[in-house]
Each structure stands twice: as structure tokens, then as C-alpha cells.
Amino acid sequence: MERYRVKPGSHINLEEWDASDAGGLDGGKGSAKDRLEELNEELEELQELLYAEHKRKVLMVLQGMDTSGKDGTIRHVFEGVNPQGVRVASFKVPTRIELDHDYLWRVHQQTPRRGEIVIFNRSHYEDLLVVRVRSLVPPEVWSRRYAHINDFERLLAEEGTTIIKFYLHIDLDEQKERFLARLNEPHKRWKFSLGDLKERKLWPQYMQAYEEVLNRTSTKWAPWYIVPANRKWYRNLMIATILVDTLKGLDMKYPEPEEGLDDVVIE
């Protein structure tokens, strides 16, 4: 797991990262499923503890190219977890009102409160990815954002938020397969948009933008993990493992019950 964590100040070249990596587990699909179920149960308990303790906040950021599996990850990793304690915030093309504010305005509103896990399905990193690749603002504007974002995340962390960021790493061949699957299955066609193909053409530019994000915004207080995501079962397993491990590391405790409960008689 540690090998997927981006050390602060790295020089990541994504071409050197194998998107089909399965960590040496082979044909492990059956047992991977069992392991994921165990992790789902652990996550369910940890989420309850987080909620009961009402002290810490957890923010999980999901980024990746189209079809990299952000939605599937949320569905599978959080299976069985109490929906009352988990919230998904999806960041789409900003509205006019959002564009009238600074780019972190809409993001800060969605950050977790005490006892809550929030999953960012896309995030403020779009302001260093699509915004850069599509030249939506000039370079002198987006280039300042690495520092803003590191500071913003430090603020959240110092105020009690545990942040984990996942980049779901697929390669061009895998994306082609997944787009074809969408086209070939009638009930998946709704997910396909011709605009996605325009983004695909910009793959090298996106990889460059991702590399710079990974190299410059993986910090001690908000680390990035590069998750090999060509194999969905391995992607889910890694993300669930890292999440459960991180939550366990928080050493959370149930609140002390009221005194005198041993003598309670319910009539």
C-alpha cells in the first residue's frame, strides 16, 4: 500500500506506473471479493465509531480520467456502510454563481463536519486539470493554485480533517475498452458523451497536468495515492484497504457512557 503513496516532492512519471498492476495477486478475484467484504464490514464499524466519537472529519478525494471508475469505487467500497454517515459531493462544470466566487468557495461548503465522511467525486483539483488543459484561465492564474490548495488542505487538516486523495490510474487502452462497452450496451449508452472523446484526445496533456498535481500537492497532511485501476477488483481492494487503515490509525474511541447505567431498570 505504501508503495502507492506519493512522497512529498516526488517526480512522478505516470508512464512508469503500471495501471494493470494487481500487486502480485493473481486470479484472486474470488478471494479479493471476500477480502473486500471483510473490509466493508470494518469500514461500517469504523464509520459508526467516527460518528459516535463526533470529533474528527474524513475527506476522501477521487480523481481520474473518464471511465476510471470513480462511481464504481464509491458503490463498492462503501457497500453496507450506513448512508447517514457518508456523503458524496460531485463537482461538475461550475455554475454561474460558483464562477462568480473564488474556485474554493463551492468546495469549502462541502467539506465534512465532525463525525462525517465526505467523498469528493472530482474536486478542487479540476481547477488544475480541466481548467489548465482547456485553458479556461491563464497559466499565471492556475499556477498559483498548487500553493492555495496545499494551504487550504492544511487548514482543513489542522482543524481536524483527515484527508486521503486517490488518483485512479487507467491507461488509454483500458479507457477505449470501457468506452466501447458503454457504446455496445444499450443501458450504458446514456453514460457516453461525444465530448468525452475530445478529452480523450487530450490524454497526454491530462497526464502532464496530473503528474504536476501529484508531484506538487501530495503532502504529509493530505497524501495522494496512485491506485492501479485497470482491474476494478484490485482498485476497490486497494482503496478500501488504505481507507480502513487510515481510519484505524486515528485511534478513535466511543464516548464514555453516562454514569450509573448498570443500575438502570426499564419499566
How far separated are the first and last CA of the chain, in Å rounded?
A: 52
Among residues 131 and 170, whose Cβ is nearest to ligand ADP? 131
Among residues 22 and 118, whose Cβ is nearest to ligand ADP? 118
CB of 66 to ligand ADP, least distance (A): 6
CB of 210 to ligand ADP, least distance (A): 13
CA distances from 249 to 47, 243, 244, 253 (A): 13, 10, 9, 12
Please report, as ranges, the residues that interact with ligand ADP according to CB under 6 A.
66, 91-94, 122, 126-127, 130-131
Among residues 23 and 94, whose Cβ is nearest to ligand ADP? 94
CA distances from 56 to 118, 165, 199, 236 (A): 12, 17, 37, 24
Among residues 8 and 72, whose Cβ is nearest to ligand ADP? 72
Among residues 32 and 209, whose Cβ is nearest to ligand ADP? 209
| Helices 194-201 + 172-184 axis angle, to 10 | 170
Decide: residue 36, CB within 10 A, 0-12 exposed, 13-18 middle, 19+ buried. Answer: buried
d(CA 244, CA 153): 21
CB of 36 to ligand ADP, least distance (A): 22
Among residues 35 and 122, whose Cβ is nearest to ligand ADP? 122
Beta bridge partners of 57: 161
90 backbone dihedrals φ, ψ, rounded to 5° = -105, 130
CB of 181 to ligand ADP, least distance (A): 15
Task: Give me the helices (H) in 54-171, please.
Answer: 70-77, 96-99, 105-108, 130-133, 139-142, 145-158
CB of 91 to ligand ADP, least distance (A): 5
CB of 246 to ligand ADP, least distance (A): 24
